[in-house]
Structure 1
Amino acid sequence: MPLPADAPKQARRRAGRPPQALLSSARITQAALKLVGRDGYKGLTMAALARSLHVAPSALYNHVSSKQDVLLLVEDHLMGRVDVSAFGAQPWAEAVCVWAHSYRDVFAGHLPLIPVIALLPVTNAPATITMYEAVTRGFLDAGWAPETVIDAVVALESFIYGSAYDANAPADIFDAGDLAPDAPSFSAAVARRGSGATDPAVRARHDADAAFTLGLNAMVAGLAATLGQKNAAV
């Protein structure tokens, strides 16, 4: 039955034009993370990324101009997941620990990107800058001199990135094997380590968590002592 002449006509989508954009920064970021997780950092190429998104490389270049732009999106996504909410809400030492634990957990899940992100400039990465601003403000509010803040943050980050690798280490990483009799002190210390869990993955994670907590607490205490010495000298 034909419609009346004055009936509203339903808008038709133009042929070949999707109702929404096929690509977005979020889609590109997620595809890049998946690609790196599967093939490692070397597997992240613009051609491979375009294939994973089922688009032509030219369509990808309409959104990002280079692999560097893609890495900037990835960096910002990961740094945006780091928890900085404790700064300004909890004492400085506790806030640093919350931040550091979150930071390690985020990058423990993305090991192939650590060597890249650790050396990637933060220029024009809004979530990354927001994270660093919150951390810096937390240090300044605690009494740190501005010229010392970034050095302290970099020292903590170096420990955090290394601990992210350790969180993925196998449970038997310190097994001396047939050489155990030649290193009795070391082997005995290794044997006394851990929670006693029978699941190797659980035991490895427990050991990594214990080492991280021990090291982090020592670093925070040392940094606090350094801060106290500087304040006492003023």
Structure 2
Amino acid sequence: MTERAAAPRTRSRTRTRGRPASPLLSRERITDAAMKLVREKDYRALTMPALAGRLGVSSSAIYNHVSSKQEILVLIQERLNASIDCTAFETEPWDRALHAWAHSYRRRFIEHTDLIPVVAVLPVADSPETLKMYERVSQGLAEAGLAEADIVDVIVGVEALVFGAAYDASAPADIFSPGSLEELAPTFSRLTRLRTEDARTTADRAFELALTSLIAGLRERVRVRG
């Protein structure tokens, strides 16, 4: 009796579907990672090798989506400025709209103070979201009767106030304490003791005082031109 030859075994192959082990790289992922890197470390830590390491890819893979670090900075600028609300210029009087815009601007950068040195000095030529925001504010101020030669200066002034106030909101509670040098500034030292609220509350109040004073001055300029 002859033994039947065993049929050759065929190894079953499980075919993997075409899904990558990690999410595909995109401009959105690059922007997310860049913002997190700056927030966790410092804007000077934002380098292409560091960003590639954060994303788990090679630097060359990033260059398939963006041309340079400068373009990444513009993407960050776009992300932040697109989230600033200036829609009040469509429904409210110009002074209320300017007040609302400035508060929205500050809230956004309180969340991202580490990005202020990046965004505050970027040209706007490659940033459509920034230009759209500036256009809406400019239109609102022009329609209100503010001198056209002053409008860009007003925007710059509000931004200077916003960025400084965003930093102030995260400053230490004892930032104005003179310590052992009180005798050098007795009036200032006495006045700082009047600020009995917590640091964030005093920062909010200082911003509101400066902003409303600025807007009151602009109202007067509009009235005089009137």
Q: Does structure 1 residue 213 correspond to structure 2 residue 208?
A: yes
**Shift of residue 13 of structure 1?**
4.4
Larger radius of gyration: 2
Gaps of 5+ in 1: 1-10, 196-202
* Paired residues of 1:194 and 1:206 also in contact (CA < 8 A): no
Match of 1:198 in 2: none
Go from structure 1 to structure 2 and tell me whether the alpha carbon gap of 1:91 and 1:176 turns closer, same or farther (over 3 Å shift): same
Structure 1 vs Structure 2 CA RMSD: 2.0
Q: CA deviation at 1:137?
A: 1.7
User: Match for 2:223: what amino acid?
Assistant: G
* 1:15-40 Cα distance to aligned partner (Å, 9 max, x none): xx739971122111110000001110
The 2-side partners of 1:182 and 1:57 are apart by 54
TM-score, with normalisation over the residues of structure 2? Answer: 0.87
Match of 2:161 among 159, 162, 171: 159
Query: Tell me, what secondary structure is at the counterpart of 1:227?
Result: helix
- Residue identity (%): 47
Residues 57, 85 of structure 1: alpha-carbon distance in 2 compared, 3 angstrom cutoff: same
- Cα gap change, 1:173 to 1:18, in 2 (>3 Å): same
Matched to 2:108, the amino acid is V
Residue 226 of structure 1 pairs with residue 221 of structure 2 = yes
1:171-203 alpha-carbon deviations (Å, 9 max, x no partner): 1011111222443322221111133xxxxxxx0
With the length of structure 1 as denominator, give the TM-score of the two structures.
0.84
Q: Aligned pair 1:81/2:83, yes or no?
A: yes
| CA pair 48-225 structure 1, distance change in 2 beyond 3 A | same
Superposed counterparts of 1:1-234, under 5 Å: 13=17, 18=20, 22-195=24-197, 203-231=198-226
Q: What secondary structure does 1:122 align onto? A: coil
Q: Which amino acid aligns with 1:226?
A: R
SS at match of 2:56: coil
Please give the alpha-carbon distance, in whole angstroms, between the structure 1 residues aligned to 2:202 and 2:195: 7
How many residues are matched?
212
SS in 2 for 1:170: coil
Q: Using the TM superposition, name which of 56-65 and 121-130 deviates more.
A: 121-130
Distance in structure 2 (CA, Å) of the matches to 1:194 and 1:122: 41
Which range is displaced more, 155-164 or 63-72? 155-164
State the alpha-carbon separation in 2 of the partners of residues 144 and 226 from structure 1: 7
Q: Structure 1 residues 118 and 182 mapped into 2: Cα distance closer, same or farther (>3 Å)?
A: closer
